[in-house]
Amino acid sequence: MLFLLRRSLDRLPLYYCLVALSLISLSSPALGDEPLIEFDGMSFDTWADFTASELFREQGLRCGSRFDEFASEKSAGDPSDCTMNFTNPSAEYAPGFSYPIQVVVHVITNAAGGQGNISDAMVQSQIDILNEDFLALSGSLGENGNDAAIQFELASLDPGGSPTNGITRSANNTWFNDGGAYYNTLAWDPSRYLNIYTNKASGALGYVPFLPQEGSVGSNSDRVVILWSSFGLNGPIGPPYNKGRTVTHEVGHYFGLWHTFDNGCGQANLPGCQTTGDRVCDTNREQTPHYGCSASSTCTSSDPIDNYMNYTDDLCMEQFTPDQVRRMRCTLENYRAGLIEVSLAVSEATPVARSIVLRQNRPNPFNPTTEISFDLTESGRVSLQVIDVAGRLVRTLTDGQTAAGSHSVLWDGTDNNSHQVPSGIYLYHLITKEGKATRRMVLMR
């Protein structure tokens, strides 16, 4: 079987990550039938030979991204803690409360269905890998990383509220070749769901079209696209890119991370490290992307070969740094708060207590005020508190005897000292003699 690879870097969207292998036909060869891979007049017997070649590295075929083209861009009104060109590693964004993210995977095959097929089990394996890496789960390849407290689950309800397994399937040659604006047809509200598409990815192993800080969040084009053969555990593409880390890498971009080598070495110390290089202070400085897993140094420290945002092999990727975690959580809270809101809507389908009802605040997200409603079947002492994600009391909204029936309280985004609190995720906690209930809300200033 012949696999043709042609250069198409001039048409690759920004943030294409991992190998740029355009016009790939990746059906599995029969046992003993090794594929022939040709690129610019050169032939390779196996994928391993190709990805280990000087051609692969010299041509930058692991990524078509050109980050330096927009390094100075900045969208108007960016939240100040995680803009395109600045990261504030504030403890406010340290992992505390876990954020469940609803995911929909759109599996796209060619029209005949012979290429691009991914089983439900393979889809679930990729969700498992995301959780291993973002939660640094013990016993997994990601256990040496840092827990971001961001958890992924296949959507259980579709945008209309109907039960779903979180997977859609389409057979279309144009869409399989990453053309035809398939996302305008297939997307589930991208402000509320992480939409992942599997197809040929225009020749890359994966890409996102933009960082959320650039804008267009919530548009149909807001998505993660993955080469189908590198999706899931032990995908057909084979080593060294078959452990699902392409998706981990791309979702890192989806949550606002630069490559570790973007914009060169940058500065190593505050405040310069917050505005240069990858805008993250605790990633080792790196001048150029790193391939394989061997040690090297392109700046003043060893290259971060274990970082998910490098170009190393899947097996040596094992961590986001603590400040990368904080930048992602800042991005989630300030740019992708709708992802949190839909998880709240899913949880709202299950009553939080049998004898009391604590409703989701409205509006949510909100600025500057929101209404919190609850019902009591019996009169008694009631306490309603606002708590931050670190568990600290922010505001007591009510505390005293309350009659049975329906009640509502307004919160104006201030603390007990009448000071405005910053944007972010807050919990509101209701305590009664009948039970306790807690929900989350998002303040966006």
- What is the rounded distance in angstroms from the CA atom of residue 339 to the CA atom of residue 35? 41
Pairing of strands 167-171, 435-443: unpaired
Whether 378 is catalytic is no
Q: Quickly tell me which residue has 């267009």 as its tokens.
A: 216
Neighbour-count burial of 258, counting CB atoms closer than 10 A to its CB (0-12 exposed, 13-18 middle, 19+ buried): buried
Among the listed residues 196, 192, 216, the one whose alpha carbon sits nearest the alpha carbon of residue 207:
196
- Give the angle subtended at the CA of 63 by the CAs of 60 and 64, to the nearest 5°: 90
- What is the rounded distance in angstroms from the CA atom of residue 183 to the CA atom of residue 186? 5
Compute the radius of gyration of the chain from its Cα atoms: 23
Among the listed residues 377, 386, 367, the one whose alpha carbon sits nearest the alpha carbon of residue 427:
386
Backbone angles phi, psi at 395, to 5 degrees: -155, 135
- What is the rounded distance in angstroms from the CA atom of residue 377 to the CA atom of residue 356? 7
DSSP state of 69: G
DSSP string, 183-240: HHHH---TTTSEEEEEE-GGGSSEE-SS-GGGS-TTSTT--EEEEGGGSSTT-TT-TT
DSSP state of 91: G
Distances (CA, A) of 426 to 90, 189, 191, 211, 305: 16, 24, 19, 25, 36
- E strands, 33-97, are 36-39, 42-44, 82-83, 86-87
Q: Which of 250, 286, 318, 341 is catalytic?
A: 250
Which residues are catalytic, by number?
A: 250
